[in-house]
A and B are shown apart, each in its own frame.
Chain A
Amino acid sequence: MSDRANQKPETGAFFPRDRNWHAPALTPGYKTSVLRSPQKALLSLDGTISEITGPVFGHSMLGELDNDLIHNFAKPGESAIGERIIVHGRVLDERGRAVSGALLEFWQANAGGRYRHKKESYLAALDPNFGGCGRTITDEEGFYSFRTIKPGPYPWPNGVNDWRPAHIHFSVFGHGFAQRLITQMYFEGDPMIWKCPIVNTIADRRAIEQLIAPLDWANTIPMDARAYKFDIILRGRRSTLFENRIEGN
């Protein structure tokens, strides 16, 4: 699992996505999926260069507060209200190799469960010092971290009385466009996780557990912020074994 900073870029195709591990497209308990799910089978395509390549983003694009949601929208000298936490972890691929240079973008509601979005009408108040977005890029060993406040649960119009568990949305770029992933992180011990129709779009309990970040007491900063650890696994890359086709096509 050591990093390989000087290694030449990998060009193997990605491991096939396990579509039984991921949620299916049609999950009627999550009502919006009913009219937004393809009904025809996906067309399978072993990765071509169009999918095994992807954009990369340099650390130079990051602003100083991009990974600090407590302060990146706050007025000078002020900060967001809520439970101060650090979220950190590693981005690895399915072979356990560090994914360096991965762009992570995250967004969330404030401590009361209110998103800063014009379509949001939940009566909980906005926090004038909290925007709700942040981003960072993993280091050479795949590590990332950001600071934020713990989001609150919020109600949503699905069932009559459905509430989302506290969660942070993550968007991840690996090294190839085929690795593109959006997911949600949940918090250890939240009883609402198992009631949520969006969580329950995933059939395999182990796949759900992989989305739940444990409280990380070791990295908690005394008198400052608690820590949660959330590792993210992207699709692995095949070693390019016998893929050169030197004897022709």
Chain B
Amino acid sequence: MVQALDYLKETASQTAGPYVHIGLTPNFCGIGGVYDTDLGTTMVSENTLGDRVTVSGRVLDGTGTPLRDALVEIWQADAAGLYNSPSELRGAADPAFSGWGRCPTGGEDGAFLFETIKPGRVPFKDGRPMAPHITFWIVARGINVGLHTRMYFPDEAEANAADPLLLRVEHRHRIATLVATGSAPNYIFDIHLQGEKETVFLDI
């Protein structure tokens, strides 16, 4: 016998279901008066440092149909490349920037939209700089475990070419699924759940 390796097991994920917006964006779905505002609606204020950008897009299923019941969250560094998190020990992030946003997909076209800033560069585990990126998390009816991915910027070709994560994508044509289209300050990032244009999703 050996000692028991007494780690617990992570609580298993379940789908967010079709009514995720009741819990996470109640004002958006018409449940007023409980919270003043929906969390994650506003990421920047006039005091936030950095270049303003918008990131919009859709989440599409295996037939190319946009999901109108998804919820998208993003997490990113500030303009100086620091995260507004207690686990960030490299310095103090911009206090006027939360780094986190949440947006439901709704309406006829199923679009999400974030008004944010362009993030600075942050280091990979070995110290190499990663290209500027935004971390995405997508949940919806039909998605059993939330999907993680990243968005990179189309006007950072040199940084993207040396990015330690993008260098790991074996099928090089799939890198394009992680790079937004559009141009500064308005970027477009469509997320394809399945099929030929399937976005690279991460096990992080």
Contacts and interface: CB of A to CB of B under 8 A. Distances in A.
B22 A117 contact: yes
Contacts of A37: 142-144, 193-194
Interface residues of A, number: 92
A182 B139 contact: yes
Contacts of B195: 39
B100 A55 contact: yes
Interface string B55-93: 000000111010101000101010000011111110000
Contacts of A217: none
Given A22-B145, A25-B144, A36-B142, A55 B126 contact: no
A201 interface: yes
Contact size range, B:
35 or more
B23 A133 contact: yes
> Chain A interface mostly helix, strand, loop or mixed?
loop
Interface in B127-161: 127-128, 130, 133, 135, 137, 139-148, 150
Nearest to B169: A43
B182 interface: no
Contacts of A50: 75, 77, 83, 122, 130, 133, 135, 150
B12 A33 contact: no
A85 interface: no
Interface stretch (B27-35, B45-53, B110-118): B27-35
B10 interface: yes
Contacts of B144: 22-25, 27, 30, 33, 37, 201
A127 B15 CA distance: 25
A73 B33 contact: yes
A119 B69 contact: yes
Interface in A174-215: 175-178, 180-184, 198-199, 201-202, 204, 206-208, 210-211
A169 interface: yes
A35 B194 contact: yes
Contact of A169 (B20, B26, B98, B168): B20
Interface in A42-79: 42-57, 63, 65-66, 72-73
16 contacts: A10-B87, A11-B87, A22-B145, A32-B141, A37-B143, A39-B194, A51-B135, A107-B24, A117-B18, A118-B30, A120-B19, A169-B16, A175-B87, A183-B14, A184-B14, A208-B12
